[in-house]
Amino acid sequence: MTQKVKKGGINKMKWSFTPKQVIEGEVNYTLEEFVRELWGEVKSKISKEEFNRFPEGQEREKKYYKAIKDVFNFEYEICYVCAIKKPYLDAVIEQFNGEEKEIIKKTTKENKGNIDMLHALLVKHIANGRSKGLSKKQALKSTYEYSKDLISRNSYKT
């Protein structure tokens, strides 16, 4: 369902469906799939050759995967904050210097489609919780914890 589209040598996630179709249940696309695919997108941005200056072996691999994880966590957090409350991110951005602001703004712009899809997935997860009898507060908390758990389990490393 998700296509990888090369853009400047980088795999960009592109779906054959819309966020609206996800929310309305017309397609079965999960937050776990999104996280795994975002991991793959981030991984395609980081060249292994950049780590050749480190001795070959486990240390090099550790540094490579740590870099991927750090970039992934940064991009996911930006997407998550934008998906749940864009004005909050705008307020946070104001606390950074010029270069940091530009990095966050660029990341936000480059991830517009990912932000829209993540928003749809979060809305769908909340709606599913509500349909199972959870209060709004419980459904929000459940969705937050599920998202956090996906990231902490590193289930996207496969």
Between 158 and 63, name the one with better pLDDT: 63
Tell me the pLDDT band of 142, cut-offs 50, 70 and 90: very high
Cβ burial, residue 132 (10 Å; 0-12/13-18/19+): exposed
Q: H/E element holding 8?
A: none
Lowest-confidence pick of 14-23, 29-38, 88-97, 122-131: 88-97
- What is the CA 57 to chain-centroid distance, rounded? 29
Lowest-confidence pick of 7-16, 39-48, 61-70, 75-84: 7-16
Look at residue 73 and give its three-state secondary structure: helix
Helix 112-131 × helix 98-110 angle, to 10°: 70
Instruction: Give the whole-number percent of the chain exceeding pLDDT 90.
Output: 55
Pairwise CA distance, residues 10 & 6, whole Å: 5
pLDDT, tens digit, 9 for 90 and up, residues 87-125: 777 777 788 888 888 998 899 999 999 999 999 999 999
**Whether pLDDT at 39 is above 80:** yes
Pairwise CA distance, residues 51 & 72, whole Å: 17
Summary mean pLDDT of the chain: 86
Q: Is the dihedral of CA 96, 141, 26, 154 positive or negative?
A: positive
